[in-house]
A and B are shown apart, each in its own frame.
Chain A
Amino acid sequence: MPAPTQEEILEKLQPIFEEALDEPGLKVTLKSSAANTANWDSLTHIDIIESVERRFDVRFGLGELQDLKDVGDLVRLVIQKTK
């Protein structure tokens, strides 16, 4: 099975962001981050990370979590972890 593309992962992440940020219809992009997205506070960030780990059945490392800057980083991390 070919590795999923960034677009495919982003698509699967959409509902998590919509729900966790409580913004139905919200479109996140690879450039979305806490800095440029409404409702994305520190607790919501934790909820998002936990939800992504559970949704994709992956566990992120401490250092990886620390380096996350935007959704693009998260997408690439998911791809790397699900290989």
Chain B
Amino acid sequence: MSYLEYMSEGLETDLARLPLDDLLMRKKSLRRRLASREGLQPVRIAVLGGSTTSEVVSLLDLWLLESGFSPTFHQCEYGRFYIDAVHDSQQLIDFAPQVIYIHTSVADIREFAPLQVTEAGFHECVAHEFARFAAIWAALAEKIGCMVIQNNFEFPPFAILGNQDATSRGGHTRFVAELNREFAVAAGKTPKLLIQDVCSISARIGLDRWFDQKRWFSYKIATTVEGSRALAISLNAMVGAIFGKTRKVLVLDLDNTLWGGVIGDDGPDKIQIGRETPLAEAYTAFQEYCLSLRDRGVLLAVCSKNNDEIARQGFEHPDSVLKMEHISCFKANWDPKHENIALIAKELNLGADSFVFVDDNPAERAIVRGQVGGIAVPDVGDDVANYAGVIEDGRYFEQASFSKEDLERAALYQENSSRAAFETQFADYGEYLDSLDMKAEIDRFQPVYIARIAQLTNKTNQFNLTTRRYTLAEMERIAADPEFIGIYGKLSDRFGEHGLISVALGHRKGNALHMDLWLMSCRVLKRGMEAAMLDAVAGAAGGAGISTIFGTYLPTAKNGMVAGFYREMGFSPHFPLPEGLPETATMWRLELTGYTGQNKHIKVTNNACSNPGRDSGEAATHI
């Protein structure tokens, strides 16, 4: 979806989701929109550059605004990072920055070691170059005393000596590596100095995509647009860390997020986790990634649409890396996720704006993004192999080093406890459902779908009123029998196709229709598809001269979620139970006289069910 479509749908301008082209072209209007929000925290940032800094500053500006800051920038004249810091500092002092960013690149290294130098001479050359930067940090500490962010260096665009560039004393690559090592040592010894690891950031993007000779010669910008954006994202995270805005909680979905498969349907022993298959290995690796975040202080929480008891069994799986003891807050139920996230925030006593939410389902991501102010919802997609990488790209858990954080944050800044309350997008759940732009195809059984319908009866366990299993042959026979009314539903929304996800099947007895089967895939739960299906069943039944629909609920260990389904759909309890049903079963009745459509949010097409006057002759066209 393009940015314009986001705008026209009134959705939030999530910078991480904007294509680079849109970002470039629409900087000014984005800025206007982001800056118009209330409750932004002012921050004063000086940028001392060895090259043109306006591009990276314009992007950092946007990202900081999105993070809830209202930044004011001071930029030194082109290339004057050393002079302004060490000698001619009055403007900088007058600006009174809270953070200074020294933006330098490999082009700012003045003197590399000559090719014929001795080993001692090489280290002298590095020390000489290092001293220039150390002088900057010392001067800034003395004159201003704020946090300084200094980037280390990307490797040079050319390796003049080939592979030996990394090993020879005259190699620029080796020189950069050694200088970066010195920076790392200095960072441990210099209070208020943070190193931005441009060496790694540039490597992730790739040096050939990091630096563009044409931009360098034309504008003296030391990075591509892509590179500038990566710098801005990293800096935003660092500034957030300095001001204590680091995110603290990773909220995780379960099915197809922490393990493969649907535990309620497949069973705890059938989920994909462990080392047996590539997919299982990938889920294991993602669990290991989550655990490593926990080991460094990020809290893990679970928010899943599941039966609580069944969901917990996933963590008892022998191959599960994550155990229940690692989960600080666990919510598995059938309530909307944004409500559960509000509960998690309350229980952990943390703002939801310190949460990162990970879910493979784009519709769940959309509602959480829309309903929970300030939460980060990365577009992780639905391929577990990509989850960790996308979370990494967000730089959500950046921290200034622990001792420094304690020192600086406690002393200089007060935690902003009254978090800016960002507007939520949807007035209510119905509005959210409408925003999904759902379209359903609901119709009598069609030959092409019989195999899928039979398959669904065999794998659906949770939203399944009777859990009756059918073979393909049985289902084919039923589909051809005019005494049966079988309805299937396919659903799509603006995120894509869900395919055939619901089946309702009943047989006729006199003027009544007895439902043998009613099932739906849990991934489209609470979308209003249930109502659309009932409309179709009622339409088809009414058209066949049927006046009453009977529904049965046969409880199993897994289908507790639909115990109240028929009541919710307007059915009345029916007694007594016919012979042959277990005692725990319940039966329900719906009179069709005066039935009015219940579907409000889904556009239904190809719906032949509402055609009255259907007779057995017509059944042939529907099989």
Point out residues on A near B: beta carbons under 8 Å: 16, 19-22, 39, 42-44, 46-47, 50-51, 54-55, 59, 61-62, 65-66
Contacts and interface: CB of A to CB of B under 8 A. Distances in A.
Given A62-B217, A62-B218, A43 B24 contact: no
A66 B32 CA distance: 31
13 contacts: A16-B25, A19-B28, A20-B27, A43-B54, A47-B24, A47-B25, A51-B21, A51-B24, A54-B20, A62-B214, A62-B217, A62-B218, A65-B218
Contacts of A43: 54-55, 58
Contacts of A46: 55, 219, 221
Interface string B20-55: 110011111100100000000000000000000011
A54 B24 contact: yes
Interface residues of B, number: 18
Interface in B591-612: none
Given A19-B29, A47-B24, 7 more contacts: A20-B24, A22-B29, A42-B219, A51-B21, A51-B24, A55-B21, A62-B217
B103 to A, nearest CB: 15
Nearest to B20: A54
Contacts of A59: 214
Contacts of A50: 24, 225
A50 B256 CA distance: 39
A19 B221 CA distance: 22
A21 B32 CA distance: 12
Contact of A19 (B26, B54, B225): B26
Given A22-B28, A43-B54, A43-B58, A54 B21 contact: yes
Nearest to A15: B25
Nearest to B58: A43
Nearest to B26: A19
Interface string B165-206: 000000000000000000000000000000000000000000
Contacts of A54: 20-21, 24
B78 to A, nearest CB: 11
Contacts of B28: 19-22, 39, 44
Contact of B32 (A22, A47, A62): A22
B25, B217, B218 — most chain A CB neighbours (10 Å): B25
A38 to B, nearest CB: 11
Nearest to A43: B54
Contacts of B24: 20, 47, 50-51, 54
Closest 3 CB pairs of A and B: A22-B28, A43-B54, A19-B25
A43 B54 CA distance: 7
Contacts of B26: 19-20
Nearest to A23: B28
B25 A51 contact: yes
B139 to A, nearest CB: 29
Nearest to B213: A62
B210 to A, nearest CB: 16
Given A22-B32, A62-B214, A65-B218, A42 B54 contact: yes
A20 B21 CA distance: 11
Nearest to A55: B21
A44 B26 CA distance: 10
B8 to A, nearest CB: 14
Contacts of B21: 51, 54-55
A35 B543 CA distance: 73
A7 to B, nearest CB: 21
Nearest to B224: A50
A42 B27 CA distance: 14
A56 to B, nearest CB: 12
B108 to A, nearest CB: 20
A61 B20 CA distance: 21
A23 to B, nearest CB: 9
A55 B219 CA distance: 20
Nearest to A44: B28
A43 B25 CA distance: 11
A20 B58 contact: no
A47 B221 contact: no
Contacts of A51: 21, 24-25
A62 B29 CA distance: 29
B402 to A, nearest CB: 37
